[in-house]
Structure 1
Amino acid sequence: MRAAWKQLLGLLLAAALGSALCLALNRWDNKYTRPGAQPLEGLLVLSEEELDRTDVHFLIRGWAFYPGVLLTPEELAAHGSEHYMVYTSVGQRTRFDREGENDPHGCGTYVLELRLPERAAEYALELPEIYSAYRLYLNGRLALQMGDPETYRPLTQNRMAGFTGSGRVTVMLAVSDRSHFYSGLVYPPAFGSPLALNLIRGERLGLAVCVSLCGLLGAALAFYLGLRMRHKNAVLFALLSLTAALFTAYPLLHSGLALPPQPWYALEIFGAYLMVALVVLLQNRMCRTDRWLSRLSVWAGGAFALLALGYGLCSAHLSVTAMRAFSALAVCFKAGAALYLLAVSLDAARRRVPHTDSLPYVAVFYGTLLVWDRLLPDFEPVVTGWFFEWGGLVMILAIGYTLWRDVVSAYADNLTFAEEHRQMKRQLAMQAEYASQMAERSAENRKLIHDFRQHLRAITEMAFRIESRPETAELKRELLRYLEEFPQVIPRGAGVSPGCFCNHASVDALLQYYHAAALRQGIRARLAFRLPDGIPLSDVEWCSVLGNLLENAMEACQRLAEGAGTISISVRPMRGTFFLLVENSYDGHYDRQGGRFRSRKTGAVRYGIGLESVRETVTRCGGTLDIYPLETVFRVGITLPVREGPGASGPAPK
């Protein structure tokens, strides 16, 4: 019960943080709430005090709008009163459709009069993407043109027009659209000094560059780890990061290039909804969702992303009804995705799926931002991003964090598996070496038995002759001489088992293997010792510890001149304590960082796995590992507690 209340409190805290973020952005990074005078009925009066107090004004309200006509300054002056005009706010009219019509496209002219101080000064007007072709007139002069609104050659770009102005300045935009799902002036232009506008523009583009670069780097790292470790989730996260990087790069694209609306805006909205589908896919995999539910949700997300792509590509042929239907469907899709992510993550938390404990809180945070996106429709960021973009960023970071934990865990498992595989190969090599020695001894025994039979025949024949002729003294002397020479005929050491190095069979086999390997490489080795009873290490653990230490010692000796290497093991059993010391000669070079020794294997960049494995085993059993690198001798000492009981101390076996 306490865990449930704790989780509920965390979910409420996530919702509170999401709400605080939205309210903060709405207050301090919103064009619609930024302080400053606003136009009224087509007129904006800006005094020097107002310009000093507010360096940038976003021109939102009070635009005079002439629907259905493309006016020039001359036509406006001569026949402006003859055309229908309405005052409108930017963002209020996102299509050129008229009441009772179902065609979202058309044309229109926006007019705004500025009253500036009489002293001439440098000003700038930043125009965001205007859909989809327009001409900008300042005081009756053509200042900027994108595409051709009359013959309709669509082009969009985030542009800035500078001018020297004083007194009365008329801003006039003649806009035409027949290909985009938005029409005309959708985002508020910004007016102010060139320096102030360039600062805001630079902050916005700089943030986009940072986010896009981080996304690309994350995608490259995830793709590398995914291929190297064969981790499918990492490859999918690389695709998600790449999609996010390209999506957040659209301010750079629209600021640097003049492009037609299609297919670029279709790809933009496709990328936005593809991110949602990839988030659903990754969360399904990490939360181990039911296979059929996972497939259904991923297919739904992918289908809606393709629908968004088709919506963008076919926007020139859509009706107002179709556009409204898609907008409503998009809202339902986002809400459904947020609820699904929350349900899946809560179910994973209930089933205690590893590394998914943070996902429910992120899903609540994401859903909270989507709710505020509907509650605060008059929000357009000055520098940062939309609520939907913030939610997607937090969701991607959370999935990346969860995936990173999973990758680190998998990497640790791979290292453990590699170490176990290495030890198994060593055990097999030990067994092969031991079997080879036993086969050699067996062959010697067979030869000895064969030769011994011949000797017995000779002795039997001599004894038979002596028995048949007891008076033959010469035969007796020959038999005695033969028996005296008989021990020299048998080879020394033949017919016995290999020398014993330890009183534990498995440890003895390990020492036999390394002793034979040392002899083959001209390394002097003294490896015999005796293990007392009561040591907390099992034979398997002893083989792992000694195998790693002897392997490192062999590698160190191989770097020396032939015949210069030595390896020795010595023990000091005391009451309640057992001390084992492994010494080997080395070249005096080692790499230690923070108390840990780095591997010197060719191409190795990680800490030595062998020593760390030994340290972990010894520490787990209540012992200590001490390393003493001297000038020419490398020492590793192991101190272990010995349980009270009958010991088996004594001299080391020969």
Structure 2
Amino acid sequence: MDTKRFFRLFLLIAAAVLASAGLFFFLYRFDNKYTTSRFSPQEHLSFDEEISDFSSVVWLTGGWEFYPGMTAQPEELSDCTPESVYIGQYFSFADFNEDASPYGTSTYRLTLDADAGTYALYLPEIFSACRVYVNGELVGTAGSFAPHQPGIKDLILPVDTDGRIELVIQVMNYSHYYSGITYPPALGTVEGISHLITARMLFYGFLCFTSLALAVFSSAVWFGLKKERQMPQDLWLGILALSFSVRICYPFFHIFGISWSRLQYTLEDVMSALGILCIVRITCILCCRKDSTFARVLTGLASGFVLLGLMNNLLFLTYIPRFVPVYGVLLFWYKLGGSLLLLGMIVRSIVLSPEKILRTGSSAFSGDSFPSGSSFLPGGLAAYTVSLAAHAICLGRFEPARFGWFDEWGTYILILCFSMQMVIRSTATVRENHYLNRHLQEEVNRKTASLEKLLSQRRQLLSAFAHDIKTPMTSITTFTRLVELDNADLDAESRQYLDTIREKTGEMQDRLEALQDYFRQDTGASCFTTVDLCRLIDDFCRANAPDMDVMGIHLESELPILRPVLVQGNRDRLMSVLQNLVYNAASFIEKEGNIRLTLTRDNRNGAAILHVKDNGRGIAAEHLSHIFDRFFTRRDDNSGSGLGLFIVRAAVEEHGGEISVKSEIGKGTCFEIRLPLMKMP
């Protein structure tokens, strides 16, 4: 790989890293509940009634009173000593339990001053059962406390106030590794909260359905390709898109109150880990040697975390709750360390073997050339690793206000890069196929012209040879006759020899005459025109019926009512086919015989069917398989060249048709010819 391409690839990867870092910094500043529209309880809450967009929503992140280990009523909290926290500071109750269990109960309290009016409170995903009080009144619940029944969903509650708002939220968790209020609530006008939720649903719906569509498309491409053309990264990217579309369905479960708590979070964790496994496999395919030990170790580690996510939800949460905080720490370092390792693998591959990462990321049909789309996949991987690192580093300090998490953005960027690469690859394949088809047609035309020229030269040579050899054959016949006339005293044996010479010479002349007739008619497919078989048969019968009448044979035809019956062919050649068949049949019919030509149309198979049937003596079964052979004759006196039916079959096959025969001794013979009908526009 030359230096120019190396630096181009390096700059593309560096640009992907910088652009993704810039995007995540922008999201951190302007789509972060902790930095955007953050409200302090010491402030007075007031909204402009004429504004109903996102600015009429505040995030209640700080100033909360936290009462661990108790579910106190609002009036009981004045006698308790709280701990001041911000939402997201603690992901579970493990820090407040001696056995480090994430389970338990707690109460949150927040008071603030606001203009009198009606507001909406948006509580996203409280773990895993709660009661919500506003100014001492119970306004909403999720799940139940006694008995404990998780009910994780988004709550949208009305808040009526005359100037002071007291929020008290009791929580209980015995089913999830997160506990209590993990994500900051929002308070605002009804219109503002509605706009917020609508924007969130549209964003996740777009991500979900576009990823699912790409997963279906890539699966169809994978299974539709032949085995030697399948690219393994296509399969893993398809699985990644599918797992991502399943994973990001969670906002719809929460907003619509579909509470399949254990199954839902098991799916979410497993799909997240499966997505990382897919990305590890893609990176190994791009950056590592096939079946390298390092790639197998990384794949095994990523697969282990898929299994760990499954076991954590189905086993550890129920039977070993103290392991849950350890799982959280492992997951944090796995994502942070894994992202840095993947980014390091990409950079190392660019430095040491850039050809591999380009060729593996490009089309299987590209050969030695590197299409421009081959850098999309490495660039997407670089963006994803940055998102994974940002997600791990900003944990507890970032939560999206309207859109997605860093790792969701990163995964979708990778999927978009994959889709762009597939589009470029498909475009390149179409162009290559078009190029090959165009040049293939040119090559076919050139070869066909060359072959036709060669065949024409051979026909001319053989025709000239047949013509030239007739002269010495005629001389042989003449001189044998002169020998016989000038030598009256020839004995019987010598005369018999002369008769044999004349007989064999006559046979040679007949065959040479047949060959000349064949070569005169053999003009090739280039001279084909549109031929109406109905008119052809009419003309043949009208021209040959008098001869048949003289021979005592009745020639008749039966044609379809729907005319014309059109084929592509050479009229003279087809007329010769009829002449050979009819006169060949006439030679085996006694007087008062009958020959019938029947034409039908087979629209289903697109064929015209012509039957030439006689009531002659018939053909013995042992001869049927040989009648189309060259020089085969079944005449009693062995007269004829034996080329008539051979020429008939050659002419029919030249027209793309088929000929067959059925016969019964004493009853007659029927030849069937099938010719392709001309396709009408």
TM-score interval, normalised by the smaller of the two chains? 0.5 to 0.7
Deviation at 1:463, TM superposition (A): 1.6
CA contact (8 A) 1:45 1:116 kept: yes
Deviation at 1:123, TM superposition (A): 0.6
Out of 134, 147, 150, the position equivalent to 2:146 is 150
Deviation at 1:28, TM superposition (A): 1.1
Unaligned residue ranges in structure 1 (runs of 5+): 471-478, 502-510, 523-559, 567-601, 603-654
CA–CA distance in 2 between the matches of 1:2 and 1:488?
77
Listed as ranges, the matches of 1:25-174 within 5 Å are 25-39=27-41, 45-47=44-46, 54-76=55-77, 80-81=78-79, 83-97=80-94, 98=96, 100-117=98-115, 119=116, 121-174=117-170
Secondary structure in structure 2 of the residue aligned to 1:64: strand
Listed as ranges, the matches of 1:338-353 within 5 Å are 338-344=343-349, 349-351=354-356, 352-353=358-359
Deviation at 1:519, TM superposition (A): 8.2
Q: In the alignment, residue 354 of structure 2 is paired with which amino acid?
A: A
CA contact (8 A) 1:128 1:187 kept: yes
CA–CA distance in 2 between the matches of 1:521 and 1:365?
69
CA–CA distance in 2 between the matches of 1:454 and 1:161?
115
Q: In the alignment, residue 59 of structure 2 is paired with which amino acid?
A: F
Deviation at 1:114, TM superposition (A): 2.6
Counterparts in 2 of 1:516 and 1:129: CA distance versus 1, 3 Å:
same
Q: In the alignment, residue 113 of structure 1 is paired with which amino acid?
A: T
Deviations 1:439-494 (A, max 9, x none): 99999999999999996775343221233259xxxxxxxx9xx9xxx999768875
Counterparts in 2 of 1:238 and 1:6: CA distance versus 1, 3 Å:
closer
Secondary structure in structure 1 of the residue aligned to 2:159: strand
Deviations 1:406-439 (A, max 9, x none): 3444455566677888899999999999999999
Q: In the alignment, residue 242 of structure 1 is paired with which amino acid?
A: L
Counterparts in 2 of 1:7 and 1:74: CA distance versus 1, 3 Å:
same
TM-score by length of 2: 0.63
CA–CA distance in 1 between the matches of 2:507 and 2:262?
102
CA–CA distance in 2 between the matches of 1:115 and 1:69?
26
CA–CA distance in 1 between the matches of 2:423 and 2:55?
45
Q: Which residue of 1 aligns with 2:273?
A: 273
CA–CA distance in 1 between the matches of 2:351 and 2:423?
20
Deviation at 1:400, TM superposition (A): 2.5
CA contact (8 A) 1:177 1:184 kept: yes
Deviation at 1:100, TM superposition (A): 4.5
Q: In the alignment, residue 333 of structure 2 is paired with which amino acid?
A: A
CA–CA distance in 1 between the matches of 2:49 and 2:518?
100
CA–CA distance in 2 between the matches of 1:409 and 1:202?
39
CA contact (8 A) 1:216 1:241 kept: yes
Q: Which residue of 2 aligns with 1:17?
A: 19
Q: Which residue of 2 aligns with 1:291?
A: 291
Secondary structure in structure 1 of the residue aligned to 2:388: helix
The higher radius of gyration belongs to 2
Secondary structure in structure 2 of the residue aligned to 1:126: strand
Bigger shift: residues 418-427 or 360-369: 418-427
CA contact (8 A) 1:67 1:109 kept: yes
Deviations 1:329-360 (A, max 9, x none): 34323333343345456656344514533444
Q: Which residue of 2 aligns with 1:318?
A: 321
Secondary structure in structure 1 of the residue aligned to 2:268: helix
Deviations 1:609-646 (A, max 9, x none): xxxxxxxxxxxxxxxxxxxxxxxxxxxxxxxxxxxxxx
Counterparts in 2 of 1:142 and 1:258: CA distance versus 1, 3 Å:
farther
CA contact (8 A) 2:473 2:509 kept: no
Percent of pairs with identical residues: 21
Counterparts in 2 of 1:151 and 1:330: CA distance versus 1, 3 Å:
farther
CA contact (8 A) 2:132 2:167 kept: yes
CA contact (8 A) 2:532 2:565 kept: no
Matched, 1:380 2:385: no
Listed as ranges, the matches of 1:164-563 within 5 Å are 164-230=160-226, 231=230, 233=232, 234-285=234-285, 289-292=289-292, 294-313=295-314, 314-316=316-318, 317-319=320-322, 320-344=325-349, 349-351=354-356, 352-353=358-359, 354=362, 355=371, 356-377=374-395, 378-412=397-431, 458-469=477-488, 494-495=514-515, 514-515=525-526, 562=566
CA contact (8 A) 1:289 1:344 kept: no
Q: In the alignment, residue 382 of structure 2 is paired with which amino acid?
A: V
Q: In the alignment, residue 25 of structure 2 is paired with which amino acid?
A: L
Deviation at 1:224, TM superposition (A): 2.9
Deviation at 1:221, TM superposition (A): 2.5
Counterparts in 2 of 1:269 and 1:500: CA distance versus 1, 3 Å:
farther
CA–CA distance in 2 between the matches of 1:55 and 1:37?
12
CA contact (8 A) 2:59 2:184 kept: yes
Secondary structure in structure 2 of the residue aligned to 1:66: strand
Q: Which residue of 1 aligns with 2:592?
A: none
Bigger shift: residues 167-176 or 192-201: 167-176
Secondary structure in structure 1 of the residue aligned to 2:109: strand
CA–CA distance in 2 between the matches of 1:375 and 1:135?
32
Counterparts in 2 of 1:423 and 1:275: CA distance versus 1, 3 Å:
farther
Bigger shift: residues 257-266 or 386-395: 257-266
Counterparts in 2 of 1:144 and 1:318: CA distance versus 1, 3 Å:
same
Q: In the alignment, residue 83 of structure 2 is paired with which amino acid?
A: V
Q: In the alignment, residue 85 of structure 1 is paired with which amino acid?
A: P
Counterparts in 2 of 1:128 and 1:461: CA distance versus 1, 3 Å:
same
Q: Which residue of 2 aligns with 1:543?
A: none
CA–CA distance in 2 between the matches of 1:279 and 1:493?
78
Bigger shift: residues 54-63 or 414-423: 414-423
Counterparts in 2 of 1:488 and 1:260: CA distance versus 1, 3 Å:
closer
Counterparts in 2 of 1:258 and 1:461: CA distance versus 1, 3 Å:
closer
CA contact (8 A) 1:136 1:173 kept: yes
Q: How many residues align?
A: 507
Counterparts in 2 of 1:442 and 1:71: CA distance versus 1, 3 Å:
farther
CA contact (8 A) 1:441 1:494 kept: no
CA–CA distance in 2 between the matches of 1:417 and 1:299?
43
Secondary structure in structure 2 of the residue aligned to 1:188: coil
Deviations 1:171-220 (A, max 9, x none): 11110111111100000000111110110110010111112121122223
CA–CA distance in 2 between the matches of 1:380 and 1:291?
39
Deviations 1:103-131 (A, max 9, x none): 121110111123222x3x11110000000
CA–CA distance in 1 between the matches of 2:527 and 2:513?
17
Secondary structure in structure 1 of the residue aligned to 2:261: coil
Deviation at 1:273, TM superposition (A): 2.1
CA–CA distance in 2 between the matches of 1:519 and 1:564?
5
CA contact (8 A) 2:530 2:567 kept: no
Q: In the alignment, residue 298 of structure 1 is paired with which amino acid?
A: T
CA–CA distance in 2 between the matches of 1:294 and 1:423?
47
Unaligned residue ranges in structure 2 (runs of 5+): 363-370, 490-498, 534-563, 571-605, 607-681
Deviations 1:38-61 (A, max 9, x none): 125xxx642567998952111111
CA–CA distance in 2 between the matches of 1:422 and 1:521?
30
Counterparts in 2 of 1:326 and 1:357: CA distance versus 1, 3 Å:
closer
CA–CA distance in 2 between the matches of 1:432 and 1:252?
68
